[in-house]
Structure 1
Amino acid sequence: MDKLRNMEVMVAVVEAGSFAAAARQLQISAVMVGKHIQQLEAHLGARLFQRSTRQNSLTEVGAAFYDDSKRVLEQVRWAESAVERSRAVPQGLLRVSAPFTLGNHVIAPLVADFLQRHDQVRVDLQLTDSVVDLAGEGFDVAVRIGQVVNEGLVARPLRPYRMVIAAAPAYLQRYGTPERAADLARHQCLSHSVWQRRVEWTLRDGKEEFFWPENARFVCNQGDGLRQAALRGLGLIMQPEVLLADDLASGTLVPVMQHCLPVPRPMHLVYAPDLRQLPKLARFVEHVVGALGVA
C-alpha cells in the first residue's frame, strides 16, 4: 500500500468535495478513488467518511486525519522542492580527498578558485596518501594516482603524474652532473622515508632498471622537507614535478637525468555515478577536468 498516495487521494476528496471531483482532479477513475480510501480505512481501522447517496462527509477521525495528512504532504512537497533547489544551484558541503603533495600544490589552489566562483558551496579538502573509501568515509570525489581498481566509480582521466630528478646549481658545480642512473651511487641522494619500506618509482636507463638509493644521507617523510634540503645544495632529489615546478622555472633547481625518469603514472578524478548529479559535484568535476584533464 502506498500510504502517501492514499493520503493524497483522501485530501483531494475533501478539498474537491466528492469522489468524482477528486477523480477528475487526479485523472483517475472514481472507482480507483474509492479503492484508495478503502485501503486507508482498512489500514487505520477506522472510517474516514460518512457516505450517503448525496454526499460524503468526514467523520471526527477523518477530520483529524485530514489535517495531519495535509501537513505531511506539505512537508513532502517542501522536501522535494529542497532537493530540486539543491540541484539547480551549486550549494552545500563537498568533501574532497587528494594525495598530500598533489593536493597541497595543485588541488588546494583549484578548490580556492572554485569557491570564489560558487559562494554557496563549502569544501572539506582532506589530504592523505591513503586510498579513501568514498561511500564509507563520506567523500564526494577523490583524486587518485595510479591504476584505478574497478569500484563501480566514474573515473575521469587527468594529466599523468610525473616525477623529476633535480639539484641546486651549487651542488652540480661541486659534485658534477649525473648522466646515467648508475651515477647515483657516487652522488648525495635525498630520499623519501616511504621508499625505505617499499620501492614505488623505478628509474630506467636503456633496458636497465634502477631504484633510488636507499643509503641516503638525508631521509624525510615529506617531499617539501627534501625540497628544502635540495635548495640548500645538499643533494639530488626525485620528487613530483608539481612540487618542484616553481623551482625548476626559476632555476633554483636544475633537472637532470631526464631520460631516466620513472614512467608517469595515470591520474584520475573519481566519484560515484549518479543520473541526477548534484550541481556542486558536477561543477567541481568540470572545474578540475578543465584545469587538469588530458587533451
Structure 2
Amino acid sequence: MNQLQSMRVFVKVADLGSFVRAAGALDLSTAVVTRHVADLEGRLGTRLLNRTTRRLSLTESGRTYLERVRHILDDLEGVEQMVVARNHEPVGTLRIVAPVVFGLHSLAPVVQSYAERYPDVVPDVTLADRQADLVEEGFDVGIMVARQMRSASIVTRRLTTGYMTVCASPAYLERHGTPTHPEHLRVHPCLSRPAEQGGDERVFTGPDGEVRVRTTNAIAANNTEMLRQFALLGMGVAILPSYLIGRDLESGRLVPLLGDYRLPNVEITIAYPSRRHLPAKVRTFIDHLVEHFRHADEYGRDPRSAAPPRGVADAVADTVAALPAYADGARPVSASAGEAARPLRKAPRPRMAAASPV
C-alpha cells in the first residue's frame, strides 16, 4: 500500500482514537483503514497501537512514530503549499537565455519593466550565441533568432520579426558612392559574420524579381554589434537587423540602402518547456514579452518602408551631391533607388578580421 497514505491514516486513527471514526473522516472503509495501519506495523516490525474491544492506545513505539510522522506530514504540506503558490503567484528565480546582441539592445528594458511589475521574481539572464538546451540547462525561457527548436517537450511562440537592412554611414557613401541595386554590392567592401565569409549568396526580392548577389567580404566579426560599430566608422556596407540599428537609422548615423529591395526576414521566437503546469513567473514573463513587442513601434513595422526621419533624407541628398567623380569619368550613382544603375568606383577593401567574442 501507499506508505505516505498509510502514515496519514495512522495519524488520523491516533488523533480520533478509533478506526471507525478515522474511516469516516477520511471517507474510507473501516477495513481499508485497518489494512493501512497493519501495513505500517508490518513494515516497521513493531506494534503501534494497542487494541481492545473498547479503546485504542498508542504503544511507546507508536508515540515516537506519531511525533516524527506529524513533522514529516506538516513539512510535506508546507512544501506542497509553497509549490502551489509559486505556480499561481509570480515568485522565485526566472532563468532566461537570449542571443547576445538581441539581449543587449532589446531585452534589457523588457526585463527592467517586468522586474518592477513583479518584484518577487528575480530575473537571471544568460546571453549566449548558441543553441541552448532549455531542459538540460535549466532555463525557464529562451529567446531565439532565426532558429527552429525541434523538441516534443519545448513550446515555441513567435515574438517579433527582425527586418534585415542594407546600410552604411554617410561618410562611407560620400567617399565611395551609394549603391542603388544589389549588384552594386559586388564592388563594395561588405561587413559580415565569419559564417558568411567566402562569398555567401544574398537573395534580394525587388521590382525586377529575385536578385542573387555573392558579396565580397572585407571585414568579419562574430558579433553583429561589432559589425554595427564598423559600419558607423564608415568601413563598409553592412546588412544588419532592425532591432540593432533602428535608432541609428532614425538619427542618420546609418543610411538605409536599396529601399526597393528586400532580404528574408528574421523570425524571433520564445521557447519554454511544456505548457503543462507552467509556473506563474514563466507565464507572466512570456505575456509581458509579447505585450512589449506588440506595442514597440520599432519592432512592429519594417523600418525600410517608413519615410526617413527629418534630417536623414537631407543627409543622403547632401552625400550624393558631394560624391566625387569616378575613376573612369562616369557620373556618381544617384541616391534614387528607382534610377538605372551606373558604374561604381570600386572602394578599397581593408583586410582585417575580428572574430574574438565580445
- Read off the aligned partner of 2:93 and give its amino acid letter: L
The CA deviation string for residues 194-226 of structure 1, in whole angstroms up to 9 with x for no partner, is 322794964456333224423x1x332322222
Q: Deviations over 1:118-163 (max 9, x none)?
A: 1111111111121100011111110112252420211111222221
Partner AA of 2:107 in structure 1: I
For 1:55-74, what aligned pairs fall within 5 Å after superposition?
A: 55-74=55-74
- Superimposed CA distance per residue, residues 32-58 of structure 1 (whole angstroms, 9 cap, x where no aligned partner): 111111111111111111111111111
Structure 2 residue aligned with 1:232: 233
CA distance in 2, matches of 1:174, 1:101: 29
The DSSP-based 3-state class of the residue aligned with 2:93 is strand
Partner letter of residue 19 of structure 1?
Answer: F
Check the 8 A contact 2:188/2:216 in 1, yes or no. Answer: no
Flag the 1:199–1:118 CA change in 2: closer, same or farther, 3 A: farther
State the secondary structure of the residue aligned to 1:94: strand
Aligned counterparts of 2:12 and 2:201: Cα–Cα separation in 1: 67
Equivalent of 1:213, from 216, 220, 241? 216
Q: Which segment drifts farther, 267-276 or 129-138?
A: 267-276
How big is the shift at 1:13?
0.6
Q: What SS is found at the alignment partner of 2:96?
A: strand
* Residue of structure 2 equivalent to 1:145: 145
Choose 182-191 or 12-21, whichever is displaced more. 182-191
Post-superposition Cα deviations, 1:230-283, rounded to whole Å, max 9, x if no partner, equal 223222111111111100011111100134332112221010114221111011
Q: How far apart, CA to CA, are the structure 1 residues paired with 2:275 and 2:43? A: 36
Query: Hey, what does 2:287 align to over in structure 1?
Result: 286
Structure 2: distance between partners of 1:228 and 1:126: 23
Q: Does 1:176 align with 2:177?
A: yes
Q: Report the CA distance shift for 1:32/1:68 in structure 2 as closer, same or farther (over 3 A).
A: same
1:37 and 1:198 map into 2 onto residues whose CA distance is 77
Matched to 2:146, the amino acid is G
Q: Which structure 2 residue ranges, 5 or more long, are not aligned?
A: 301-358
The answer as to 2:127 corresponding to 1:127 is yes
Contact 1:202 1:212 in 2 (8 A): no
Q: Using structure 2 for the length normalisation, give the TM-score.
A: 0.77
Alignment match, 1:82: 82
Q: What's the TM-score once normalised by structure 1's chain length?
A: 0.92
**Does 2:46 correspond to 1:46?**
yes
Partner residue in 2 for 1:273: 274
Matched AA of 1:33? V
Q: Distance in 1 between matches of 2:40 and 2:214?
A: 74
**Does the 8 A contact of 1:203 with 1:211 survive in 2?**
no
Q: CA contact under 8 A between 2:202 and 2:213: conserved in structure 1?
A: no
Range with bigger deviation, 200-209 or 97-106: 200-209
Is the Cα–Cα contact under 8 Å of residues 193 and 219 in structure 1 kept in the other structure? yes
Counterpart residue type for residue 167 of structure 1:
A
**Could you say which residue in structure 2 is the equivalent of 1:191?**
192
The gaps in structure 1 that reach 5 residues or longer are none
Deviation at 1:81, TM superposition (A): 1.1
* Cα 1:198–1:2 shift into 2, 3 Å: farther
> Which has more helix, going by share of residues?
1
Count of residue pairs the alignment pairs up: 293
Instruction: Report the CA distance shift for 1:148/1:191 in structure 2 as closer, same or farther (over 3 A).
Output: closer
